[in-house]
Amino acid sequence: MSAGLCTQCASAVCSGREYGVQQYYFEAVAVLGTSAISTYLIRIFVFSSPLAKRRGQQDKKLIRRLGLFMYVVPLFPAAYIYAQQGFGYSTLWCWVECDLEYFPQGCVWRQTLFYYELYGVFLYNAATYIVVVVLLRRVNMGGERQEYNTRVARKLSLYLLAFVICWTAPCVNRLLQSTVPDFSNQYLDLAQAFTNPLMGFLDAVVYGSSSGAWGRWKRSKRGSKWPDDVVLRYSNRLRKNNQEPLEGVRTAPSASVHGPIPTHAWV
């Protein structure tokens, strides 16, 4: 009784195809967004320009192009499926309809216009992670810098882990629905409903833990609101002039023979 009622409610919600096309479009944008992150990592670690000014200009252009790519490309398959009236009730929510007996082309669209691209993005992300980790391990800088490279490699792997967590259950569930007649598994449905919407949240958690946001929060808890580069420049200026820091102002550790210790070593 409850399952039938849920089906009726979902069918009523999916009476308009607009919700289905939105669901499809933003899922595709999220998938391509992870490939954009991988592309930017390749740009940083493999094709980085030695000139800071030129690197900044290239980064801005690349970010704009990646943004256009991830938001524009999904418009074409979404518009095509919408024009073919392919969006409707899809077990848990509105998406591309799939019925091997009555609507087999929807099952084909699921695979060719979404999941094949998803598999390709996953392989691309995995290859990017492997390349970056190999590069970081080959560049032996020793000491603090090598430890920092190791931490970066570990944090990059979290993006790949988040991708696997969010898309494993949907891939398995949709693949079985597209190949097995009348397939239905409540456990896979629940796993998909729980993990699929977490992509943006997990990416935000990984980014927050691997960027300066976490360090700034820790500094604010310690009572220091100055950015790392400001503190380092202030500390170097004090040492150069043989001056003492102001009371209550945090300074960086002493510089080594190789130059100032990177801020990541003491944050």
Give the domain ranges of the chain.
2-210, 227-265
Region class of 248: left (phi > 0), else alpha (psi between -120 and 50), else beta? left
In which residue ranges of the chain is pLDDT below 70? 1-17, 48-58, 92, 139-153, 210-267
Predicted pLDDT of residue 69: 92
| The amino acid at 237 | R
Residue given tokens 């003491």 in the structure block: 266
Give the amino acid at 9: C
Q: Read off φ and ψ for residue 84, nearest 5 degrees.
A: -90, 5
Strands (E), 6-147: 87-90, 93-96
Pairing of strands 87-90, 93-96: antiparallel
Q: Does the predicted model carry a pTM greater than 0.85?
A: no
Cα angle, residue 238 at apex, residues 236 and 244 outer, rounded to 5° = 140
Can you tell me the distance from the alpha carbon of 96 to that of 244, in angstroms, rounded to the nearest whole number? Answer: 67
What pLDDT was estimated at residue 263? 38
Q: What pLDDT shows up at residue 2?
A: 34
Residue 132 token pair = 């970056």
pLDDT at res. 176: 85
Residue 75: its pLDDT value, please?
94
Residues contacting residue 54 through CB under 8 Å, at least 6 positions apart: none
Residue in 31, 249, 26, 37 with CA at minimum distance from that of residue 128: 37
Give the pLDDT score at 148.
Answer: 64
- Sequence-distant (≥ 6) Cβ neighbours of residue 141 within 8 angstroms: 149
Which amino acid, residue 93? W
Q: Which CATH class is domain 2-210?
A: mainly alpha
Q: Which two tokens stand for residue 147?
A: 């430890």
DSSP code of residue 250:
-
